[in-house]
Amino acid sequence: MSNLLISPSILSADFAKLGEEVADITTAGADMIHIDVMDGHFVPNITIGPQVVRALRSYSDKPFDVHLMIAPADPYLEAFAQAGADIISIHPEAGPHLHRSLQTITQLGKKAGVVLNPSTHETAIEHVIDCVDLILVMSINPGFGGQTFLPSQLPKIAALRTMIDRSGRKILLEVDGGVTPETARACIDAGADTLVAGTAAFKGGPSAYVANLAALKAAVA
């Protein structure tokens, strides 16, 4: 698939030298940089906030694909937009008014995404699809890297591909969780066009990044 996009997740990077890691994975061929924001409340982990996103912005010219695993999300949308996020994705469960939240992201000049947990049905976004630029399917339970891919999410990806095609809109369909060269093919066959890769992208250190990303793209070529 020549137009496949790879969005390496910095959750699997070396946090002691995060700026350099973002620069290295960009040079290696990343299409976007996936930034997982966790609050220890919506998910059982704590990662980074807007200040770190701002600090990383100068290390890459690629779109920052920011996934907010926080609740409530609304009070922080402007801060992440100002910090340099290009895409801001939120969960339907992270606030009472998904439509309003997506409108806010768009009004901030950013692309709006919706994230579906493994137990969240695809119809959760059916009535807001006209406000969405990206749909992210979690193929693991969010909160930690290194988990095993859940094949149960493949029918959901296929259903969302049908929904997107019917909408006539250009919406990225992204998959995050357990993505490897072995599972990537199934995701693309189901209808995804964007893959988040954590361990598969960053394993082996900077000298391996070019080969890691190439392996993912070769798996679906």
- 36 carries an active-site annotation: yes
Supply the pLDDT for residue 143.
76
User: Token pair of 67, please?
Assistant: 């996934």
Supply the pLDDT for residue 181.
94
pLDDT > 80? residue 1 = no
Query: Model confidence at 100, in pLDDT bands (50, 70, 90)?
Result: very high
Rounded average pLDDT over 26-50:
96
Cα–Cα distance measured from residue 191 to residue 175, given in angstroms and rounded to the nearest whole number? 10
* Residue 127 is labelled as binding a ligand: no
Supply the pLDDT for residue 103.
98
* Residue 80 is labelled as binding a ligand: no
* Residue 178 is labelled as binding a ligand: yes
Q: Which of 36, 39, 133, 193 is catalytic?
A: 36
Q: Please give the model's pTM, rounded to 2 decimal places.
A: 0.96
pLDDT > 90? residue 144 = no
Which of 194, 193, 197, 195 lies closest to 212 in space, CA to CA?
197
* Residue 9 is labelled as binding a ligand: yes
Per-chain mean pLDDT for the chain: 96
Query: Model confidence at 14, in pLDDT bands (50, 70, 90)?
Result: very high
Give the model confidence (pLDDT) of 39-83 as tens digits. Answer: 999 998 999 999 999 999 999 999 999 999 999 999 999 999 999
Q: Provide the pairing of β-strand 87-90 with 64-69.
A: parallel
Q: What is the DSSP letter of 41?
A: S
Supply the pLDDT for residue 3.
86
Contacts of 215 (CB under 8 A, 6+ apart): 181, 200
* Residue 144 is labelled as binding a ligand: yes
Q: Which of 39, 65, 176, 193 is catalytic?
A: 176
* Residue 133 is labelled as binding a ligand: no
- Domains of the chain and CATH, by start: 5-219 (3.20.20.70)
Residue type, 169: R
Query: Model confidence at 112, in pLDDT bands (50, 70, 90)?
Result: very high
* Residue 67 is labelled as binding a ligand: yes
- 176 carries an active-site annotation: yes
Give the model confidence (pLDDT) of 161-175 as tens digits. Answer: 999 999 999 999 999
User: Token pair of 203, please?
Assistant: 């394993």
Give the model confidence (pLDDT) of 147-201 as tens digits. Answer: 789 999 999 999 999 999 999 999 999 999 999 999 999 999 999 999 999 999 9
Supply the pLDDT for residue 205.
97
Supply the pLDDT for residue 221.
83
pLDDT > 90? residue 10 = yes
Strand partners, 163: none
**Which contacts of 159-166 are long-range, i.e. CB under 8 A and separated by 24 or more positions?**
159/122, 160/122, 160/135, 160/191, 161/190, 161/191, 161/192, 162/191, 163/122, 163/125, 163/126, 163/129, 164/129, 164/135, 164/191
For CA atoms 132, 196, 30, 145, the dihedral sign is positive
Which residue do the tokens 């937009």 mark?
Answer: 81
Neighbour-count burial for 47-58, b at 16+ CB within 10 Å, e otherwise: bbebebbeebbe
Supply the pLDDT for residue 2.
57
Q: Taking each helix axis from N to C terminus, what angle separates 18-27 and 209-219, rounded to the nearest 10 degrees?
A: 50
